[in-house]
């Protein structure tokens, strides 16, 4: 049959890989959106996490900056944590609240969020290539009527690709500097950054920053 011939020629491999990438993207989306981003637990449950948190604080951070109690959920905030009013929780190493996933991006799900963006970018680039290969341009009304859906799909893919690409690049840059979106945007309002002698006391070099984030 034609299907067997296509399989023998390896023509079914690319669609299969594309479907697997889409499935992987969907699974990552649900994983990142449903998982705990690093919610700060009540103080009596935080004893086990204090040692780990202190190991992330570099000596350049002023010693007079003490953890403060959140005015919303009344838990003692570790350094780099922030209260999210949408999630109604304080989040460790808070980056931002993402409307795409309806969840915060924080200490626990930030690496998976980067993986999700990366897979999504590959899917969009591949889909854009497929859509472009199906377009042949003619200056006629009949051509527009027959290709309007494909043309709109291609334009939407281009827009989403640009958005995802810029988002991924910006996050990788911030990760390489060991800072977060919240710290980058609100540097002047954060006490442990405002009173630090260094602009970014958490920066330990690009390689070590990336290693500690991903590994």
Indicate if 90 belongs to the active site. Answer: no
Contacts of 193 (CB under 8 A, 6+ apart): 183, 187, 199, 200, 201
Q: Are the C-beta atoms of residues 210 and 176 closer than 8 Å to each other?
A: yes
Backbone dihedral region for residue 149 (phi beyond 0: left; psi -120 to 50: alpha; all else: beta): alpha
Is the whole-model pTM more than 0.85? no
pLDDT number for residue 78: 87
pLDDT number for residue 149: 82
Alpha carbon of 166 to those of 14, 23, 112, 121, 145: distances in Å?
27, 23, 17, 10, 33
pLDDT number for residue 56: 46
- Catalytic residue (one of 84, 98, 177, 215): 98
Task: Please compute, for residue 59, the number of CA atoms within 13 A of its CA located in the half-sphere on the CB side.
Answer: 0
Q: Which residues of the chain have pLDDT under 50?
A: 44-46, 48-59
Contacts of 210 (CB under 8 A, 6+ apart): 175, 176
pLDDT number for residue 200: 87
Q: What is the pLDDT of residues 66-83, one digit of tens each?
A: 678 888 888 888 889 999
Percent of the chain with pLDDT over 90: 53
pLDDT number for residue 156: 93
pLDDT number for residue 83: 94
Q: How far apart are CA 61 and CA 75, in angstroms?
A: 22
pLDDT number for residue 144: 65
Domain ranges of the chain: 2-37+100-214
Kind and range of the H or E run holding 64: none
Q: How far apart are CA 40 and CA 90, in angstroms?
A: 5
The CA angle 66-54-194, to the nearest 5 degrees, is: 45
Q: Are the C-beta atoms of residues 73 and 81 closer than 8 Å to each other?
A: no
pLDDT number for residue 48: 44
Q: How far apart are CA 33 and CA 112, in angstroms?
A: 10
Alpha carbon of 165 to those of 3, 68, 106, 197: distances in Å?
36, 36, 20, 34
Provide the 3-class DSSP secondary structure of residue 51. helix
């Amino acid at each position: 049959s034609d299907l067997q011939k296509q399989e023998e020629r390896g023509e079914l491999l690319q669609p299969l890989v594309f479907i697997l990438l889409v499935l992987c993207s969907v699974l990552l989306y649900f994983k990142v959106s449903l998982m705990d981003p690093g919610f700060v637990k009540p103080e009596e449950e935080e004893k086990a996490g204090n040692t780990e948190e202190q190991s992330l604080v570099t000596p350049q951070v002023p010693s007079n900056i003490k953890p403060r109690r959140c005015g919303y959920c009344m838990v003692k905030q570790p350094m780099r944590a922030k209260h999210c009013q949408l999630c109604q929780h304080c989040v460790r190493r808070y980056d931002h609240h993402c409307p795409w996933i309806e969840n915060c991006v924080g200490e626990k799900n930030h690496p998976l969020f980067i993986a999700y963006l990366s897979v999504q970018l590959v899917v969009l680039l591949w889909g854009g290539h497929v859509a472009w290969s199906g377009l042949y341009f003619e200056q006629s009304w009949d051509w527009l009527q027959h290709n309007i859906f494909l043309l709109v799909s291609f334009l939407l893919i281009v827009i989403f690709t640009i958005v995802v690409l810029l988002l991924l690049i910006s996050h990788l840059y911030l990760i390489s500097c060991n800072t977060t979106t919240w710290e980058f945007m609100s540097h002047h309002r954060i006490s442990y950054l405002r009173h630090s002698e260094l602009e970014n006391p958490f920066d330990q070099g690009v390689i070590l920053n990336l290693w500690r984030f991903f590994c």
